[in-house]
Amino acid sequence: MKKLFPILMVLIATVGCLMAPSVPNQPPTAYIDSISPVNATLGKTVTFNGNGIDSDGIIAVYNWRSSLDGDLSNSASFKTQSLSQGTHTIWFKVQDNEGEWSKEVSANVIIVPEGIGQPVVESFEASPSSIVPGGSSVLSWNVSGAETVNLGLEIGNVALSGTKVVSPTETKTYTLTATSPVGTATATAQVVVAEVLPDKKVELYSIIAEDGQVRRDKVVLQEPDVGNTKTSADAEAFLSFDISMIPEDAVITSATLDLTTATMHGAPFNTLGMLYVYDCHYQTLSFHDYSGEIVPGALYTIVLPPSQPIISQTLASAVQRRVDDGSSRFQLRFHFEKAKCCGRQIAYMSLGEGKSKLIIEYQD
């Protein structure tokens, strides 16, 4: 019996190990970072960039395929000039080191014969972009390569180029849609109806066409998001306000920035620290506007998700400088204290397109 005891103990330990519950493998997630251009002529180079995330392992295999041409590549990024003519649905997936595939994600690429291309919106703008109630603005546009140009239900189809006087009673975004045999192109122009109150107060919403984000990898997007976005790329957000209705000789007495409509993705203030707000000045937003570092001169810092509007004398002084300079724009840049959080954790704040509000009080 004494000789059998060690053997029994080994058998019990072995059975215990065999019965221990195993943790199931988690499937990876695939992301298409960019496809450029998405509308190309036959034989032109198209560049594909993708990545994958696996929470409990590593990405071992990548796969790109086309609805027209079949398998394209097994690399995360590649270039090709051999896409056939037509509208391609591009699928992308990744496989982890346990052999499990992610769900496929997709995007469209249109390849057309040489000489036939997408319509191009050369310009579409509203002037002025901000009016008082009862005022008017002029929409102007210029489009090439389109069969039809439409400005929405209220206006309808228009010529390839022209102007239209509009008098919205509230802030309105006009959408231009240009259509050709191979696709469409769109552009927006916003007319802000600024409420000028009797006590010389203006309430301004940010300009959708001029808001945006610039990522560390030099990608410029329209959504004003700041932090570690869904592609795990550090992004700075930018907001633009039209201050042209403030008299040149006005004395700014107060300025309030309302970011209460912003939404949190993950916990950016916990993982990335304080949010720095800078006065900046840009024309058309480009990758050159990305700073990527904390520098002296911030207007102020925000330490928690904004639950109420922020009143700041420093902000008022910054607006005053722009008014004194005769500028028609007051623009802000947002950057979190830490450029990145651990791993590929999503942690960012979405300010929303045209949702942020700047309230300015002044005296003549």
* Amino acid 295: pLDDT: 84
Q: Are residue 236 and residue 350 in the same domain, yes or no?
A: yes
How far is it, in rounded angstroms, from Cα 34 to Cα 280?
28
Is the pLDDT at 17 greater than 50? The verdict is no
Domain of 358, in residue numbers:
201-363
Q: Identify the CATH number of the domain in which residue 292 sits.
A: 2.60.120
Could you read off the pLDDT of 149-203 as tens digits, one per residue?
999 989 999 999 999 999 999 999 999 999 987 778 999 999 988 776 666 889 9
* Amino acid 344: pLDDT: 65
Among candidate residues 167, 193, 219, the one where a domain is terminated: 193
Report which of residues 132 and 336 the model is more confident about. 336
Q: How far is CA 42 from CA 84, 178, 187, in A?
A: 7, 22, 25
Beta partners for 333?
238, 278
* Amino acid 21: pLDDT: 58
How far is it, in rounded angstroms, from Cα 291 to Cα 342?
21
* Amino acid 27: pLDDT: 93
Among candidate residues 95, 112, 129, the one where a domain is terminated: 112
Could you read off the pLDDT of 213-248 as tens digits, one per residue?
999 888 999 999 999 887 767 899 999 999 999 998
* Amino acid 189: pLDDT: 92
In a domain? residue 24 = no
How far is it, in rounded angstroms, from Cα 89 to Cα 334?
36
| Residues with Cβ within 8 Å of residue 106, at least 6 apart in sequence | 32, 89, 90, 91, 92
Under 8 Å between Cβ of 36 and 77: no
Among candidate residues 54, 78, 112, the one where a domain is terminated: 112
Q: Are residue 280 and residue 171 in the same domain, yes or no?
A: no
* Amino acid 2: pLDDT: 47
Under 8 Å between Cβ of 102 and 93: yes
Could you read off the pLDDT of 70-109 as tens digits, one per residue?
999 999 999 999 999 888 999 999 999 999 999 999 999 9
Q: What is the DSSP letter of 313?
A: H
Average predicted confidence (pLDDT) for the chain? 88
Q: Identify the CATH number of the domain in which residue 169 sits.
A: 2.60.40
How far is it, in rounded angstroms, from Cα 236 to Cα 224?
8
What mean pLDDT comes out for the span 266-284?
Answer: 92
* Amino acid 193: pLDDT: 87
What mean pLDDT comes out for the span 263-285?
Answer: 93
